[in-house]
Amino acid sequence: MKTLEQVYRDYKSETFDGRDLTRLMNFVPEFDLHKLGVELKDEYKGKHGHIPFTRENVLEQLEKDVQFGYGKARGMRGISSELMYNVVQMWNWILEEGLEDFDEYGSYGMPLFGETAKKYGWELD
């Protein structure tokens, strides 16, 4: 799994709405948010908590994002499913467990959602 320093150095957002960074910043200490290009509004400064950046915590978030993306794909929600495809790609890139180079989009991102769920033994709702 990549370190946060590797993520800061190498990750480039692929979403137009920052959906990936919004999720990623939950794992980043406030003093490092600037390394992602994120600056908190004054009213949020000093209040940003973060989740420990562990494989288990990343997998927990990835499962939620796979389920959410899969739901959007099933509903043929093109923009939402594509954005979640990018989020799931980000987590797979961070985890480095065999799906980091998976780039088959097809059918609203279903191949990536399906392969990720299969790899980790998750049932898709």
pLDDT in tens, 48-60: 999 999 999 999 9
User: What letter would DSSP give residue 123?
Assistant: P
13 — alpha (psi -120 to 50), left (phi > 0) or beta?
beta
User: What letter would DSSP give residue 34?
Assistant: G
Question: What confidence score (pLDDT) does residue 14 get?
Answer: 86
Confidence (pTM): 0.94
Give the total number of structural domains in the chain: 1
* Residue 33 falls inside a structural domain: yes
pLDDT tens by residue, 11-63: 999 899 999 999 999 999 999 999 999 999 999 999 999 999 999 999 999 99
Judge whether 113 and 66 are in contact, CB under 8 Å: yes
Which residue's structure tokens are 């200490």? 29
* Residue 125 falls inside a structural domain: no
Which residue's structure tokens are 């320093």? 5
* Residue 97 falls inside a structural domain: yes
Q: Look at residue 76 and tell me whether its pLDDT is greater than 90.
A: no
pLDDT tens by residue, 97-121: 999 999 888 889 999 999 999 999 9
Judge whether 38 and 32 are in contact, CB under 8 Å: no
Six-digit token string for 88: 């799931």
Question: What confidence score (pLDDT) does residue 89 get?
Answer: 97
* Residue 93 falls inside a structural domain: yes
User: What letter would DSSP give residue 98?
Assistant: S
Average pLDDT over residues 77-85: 92
Give the structural domain span for 61: 4-120
Query: CA-to-CA distance for 17 and 114, rounded, in angstroms?
Result: 24
Average pLDDT over residues 2-16: 95
Question: What confidence score (pLDDT) does residue 95 get?
Answer: 99
Question: What confidence score (pLDDT) does residue 105 get?
Answer: 82
Q: What are the Cα distances from residue 108, in Å, to 35, 53, 104?
A: 31, 29, 10
pLDDT band at 82 (very low <50, low <70, confident <90, very high): very high
